[in-house]
Structure 1
Amino acid sequence: MRRSRSPWTLAALLVGVVVMVQALLVPLFAAPATHLAPRDLPVAVAGPPPAVAELTARLTAARPGGFAVTTLPDAAAADRALRDREVYAAFVAGSDGITLHTAPAASPAVAALLTEAAGQLSAGRPVPVTPVVPTDPDDPRGAGFAAGFLPMALTGMLAGGLLTLLVAGRRARLAGLIGYAVLAGAAGVAVLHGWLGLLDGDPWREAAAIGLFSLAVAGTVAGLGALLGRAGLGLGALLVFLLGNPLSAVAAAPELLPQPWGTVGQFLPVGAGGTLLRSAAFFDGAGAGRPLVVLAGYALVGLALVLVGRRSGGGGQPDAEGAARPAAAQVTV
């Protein structure tokens, strides 16, 4: 018969949850969102050399350290840089003043911020804005894209956890992870592209990006669970959700977060997944190199850990010979 916990033990647990979990999670989620500002944000300045030099100096003086400026000869070169995901926006100097070319698909938040900055540089005069790489018309502010990413991360964590707890065989877990990734990619495109109309690229490329992201998340959780048991599942949730979600910058941009956290987030599954899906959906794959490598790394390491880790399922722990003990045998009496 299980011993009942004393009121003091329960009180200590509640205090621990508030102090150690809530007190840490609230700042972790809230702090990045309340400190959004450009930090070495890649932008271009295009036009005749004298005008480019003057505009670059004004842009740098307006926010020191805020922008990483690339100078380009003309608007056509600026638009190529936008489509290649080399910059978020381009200030184009011409005979009629400044025009702003943007890529809202890369980050609607950055496009809005730079539109405001362009107005300040032109002494308050209206600045024409040309969206070179727009978001999908059904999601002009990008809110649907950002909101759609959290459920995919949560389902990936759930899939990895369930495969660890309920499936004993290593090969069966590997098959389950690969099958889940394929289904997640197909379902993600069906919902985000076909039903909700939030994506605007090649569906096959989008499905591959979602599938790899799902495999990276589920594989990481399952791999750590196979290696460390239930503690590994908790570590996977910490890596994917508790750290990865607030640092992902899916709703903003990595260069808007306090550093080095914006960079760190791009080496975690959710941040890399958001960047990869944007590249697949709006930029014909441009800028997909690093997130592709990051997600493939998580997926391969996770699959390898599943292959060499524990075989037990059903919540049991392996005994000295590697056989699973049933969970009922572990009840404290």
Structure 2
Amino acid sequence: MTFVDEVKNAVTPRAALLVIGVLGLQLLFIASYVGALHKPKPTDVAFGVVAPQQVSQQLVDRLDELPGGPLDPRTVSSAAEAREQIMNRDIDGALIVSPEGRTDTLLVASGGGAALATSLERILTEVDASQQRSVRTVDVAPASGEDFNGLSSFYLVIGWCVGGYLCASILAISAGTKPANRQRAVIRTGAMALYSIAGGIGGAIIIGPILGALPGSFWGLAGLGALVVFAVGMTTLALEALTGIVGIGLAVLIIVIAGNPSAGGAFPLPMLPDFWRTIGPALPPGAGTWVARSIAYFRGNAVTGPLLVLSAWAVVGTALTLLLSMRHRADADPAGPAGTGTTATGAAPGPGAGGSTAA
């Protein structure tokens, strides 16, 4: 055989397509991460202004007209209300104007992302300096001393996501991407649930009692971890049931390539470009990071929406996995419920079954 013949024999069309797909994922990974994170800048940051009535609207208008639109300012009635809105995660910071002195107070929350708190301090320092005023910064929800730049919650959630799609991928590699029947799909779902509980508790133990990196409720974080792992794992199983081994690549595309840079971890959402800021809250890494920070630093506030997002991924993934397993069995068993068209193991006979329909 010539060298060309050897290549044609060794590299099947299927293998070539998979390699091309991997190359595409690699390039998308670079484009997504660099596109999201290469030039972070605050845009339309929800920001409160507490000032005497006669100057309040003027200050709001001046902040709203800053070059590049870094702030989305709105009037807040009092300093106490501003603090409460920050803790409820309705706004990311607030300026309290002193009616008597020339030193104003800037409220920030580094627990929601140190990069954003630092950017707000820089912006408001420049604004006050232009009016011959100064500003002092008060951190109302400070990140833990063991949580550098508030990144621990992000890495915790990323670890949970990795565990979810790796577990689902191992199930596919070891026993076939498409469950042979509904019972096998139920078994996989149960295995994923048990794995998710173990992963959630394990992550919470590491981040809390062992490392002391995050404060907040241990069981709250453990429950969040179980939900994140299960949501990602069941999404991956559903994609595998739908497309075979390609489903692993699709899971990487959704969770890693699209989800991680848009999660608001390294840079909070208001510092990301519009595309990533838009998709981030709808994907498991972004929803999980938001809830982890809320549990750790914001008294568990503002978690309903993100928890519903994670629950939706889990429910849809589970439903698709079970429904597709039923469709697959019907396709493999044209003889009907008597089961005469299947083998004793529930897999369709014949050379076309391969490894894709194993348990």
**C-alpha distance in structure 1 between counterparts of 2:21 and 2:240, whole Å:** 23
Identify the match of residue 192 of structure 2 among 172, 177, 192: 177
In structure 2, relative to structure 1, the CA distance for the partners of 1:303 and 1:22 (3 Å cut) is: closer
Identify the match of residue 269 of structure 2 among 242, 254, 264: 254
Letter of the structure 1 residue corresponding to residue 264 of structure 2 = A
Question: Does the aligned pair in 2 maintain the 1:58–1:121 contact within 8 Å?
Answer: no
Q: TM-score, normalised by structure 2?
A: 0.81
- State the partner residue of 1:5: 7
In structure 2, relative to structure 1, the CA distance for the partners of 1:229 and 1:16 (3 Å cut) is: closer
**C-alpha distance in structure 1 between counterparts of 2:315 and 2:21, whole Å:** 34
Task: Find the residue that maps to 1:173 and give its secondary structure.
Answer: helix
Shift of 1:116: 0.6
Identify the match of residue 24 of structure 1 among 8, 24, 28: 28
Letter of the structure 2 residue corresponding to residue 117 of structure 1 = I
- State the partner residue of 1:213: 228
Q: Which residues of structure 1 form unaligned runs of 5+?
A: 312-317
1:68 matched to 2:83? The reply is no
Shift of 1:63: 3.2
**C-alpha distance in structure 1 between counterparts of 2:228 and 2:318, whole Å:** 14
- State the partner residue of 1:148: 156
**C-alpha distance in structure 1 between counterparts of 2:252 and 2:347, whole Å:** 24
Identify the match of residue 228 of structure 1 among 243, 257, 272: 243
Question: Does the aligned pair in 2 maintain the 1:247–1:265 contact within 8 Å?
Answer: yes
**C-alpha distance in structure 2 between counterparts of 1:19 and 1:309, whole Å:** 29
1:127 matched to 2:135? The reply is yes
**C-alpha distance in structure 1 between counterparts of 2:136 and 2:204, whole Å:** 34
Q: Which residues of structure 2 form unaligned runs of 5+?
A: 334-340
Question: Does the aligned pair in 2 maintain the 1:44–1:87 contact within 8 Å?
Answer: yes
Larger radius of gyration: 2
Render the CA deviation track for 1:30-74: whole Å, top value 9, x for unaligned: 011023222221111113222322322221222353322221122
Shift of 1:164: 3.5
- State the partner residue of 1:267: 282
Count, aligned residues: 325
Render the CA deviation track for 1:205-259: whole Å, top value 9, x for unaligned: 1111111111111111012212332122222221111211122222212221111
Task: Find the residue that maps to 2:97 and give its secondary structure.
Answer: strand
Letter of the structure 2 residue corresponding to residue 63 of structure 1 = P
- State the partner residue of 2:95: 91
In structure 2, relative to structure 1, the CA distance for the partners of 1:106 and 1:324 (3 Å cut) is: same
Shift of 1:91: 0.8
In structure 2, relative to structure 1, the CA distance for the partners of 1:253 and 1:49 (3 Å cut) is: same
**C-alpha distance in structure 2 between counterparts of 1:217 and 1:19, whole Å:** 23
Identify the match of residue 114 of structure 2 among 100, 108, 115: 108
Letter of the structure 2 residue corresponding to residue 154 of structure 1 = V
Question: Does the aligned pair in 2 maintain the 1:72–1:78 contact within 8 Å?
Answer: yes
Task: Find the residue that maps to 1:141 and give its secondary structure.
Answer: helix
Q: Which stretch of structure 1 is more off in the superposition, 226-235 or 25-34? A: 226-235
- State the partner residue of 1:50: 54
1:244 matched to 2:244? The reply is no
Q: TM-score, normalised by structure 1?
A: 0.87
In structure 2, relative to structure 1, the CA distance for the partners of 1:328 and 1:307 (3 Å cut) is: closer
**C-alpha distance in structure 1 between counterparts of 2:212 and 2:170, whole Å:** 31
Question: Does the aligned pair in 2 maintain the 1:249–1:265 contact within 8 Å?
Answer: yes
**C-alpha distance in structure 1 between counterparts of 2:352 and 2:198, whole Å:** 33
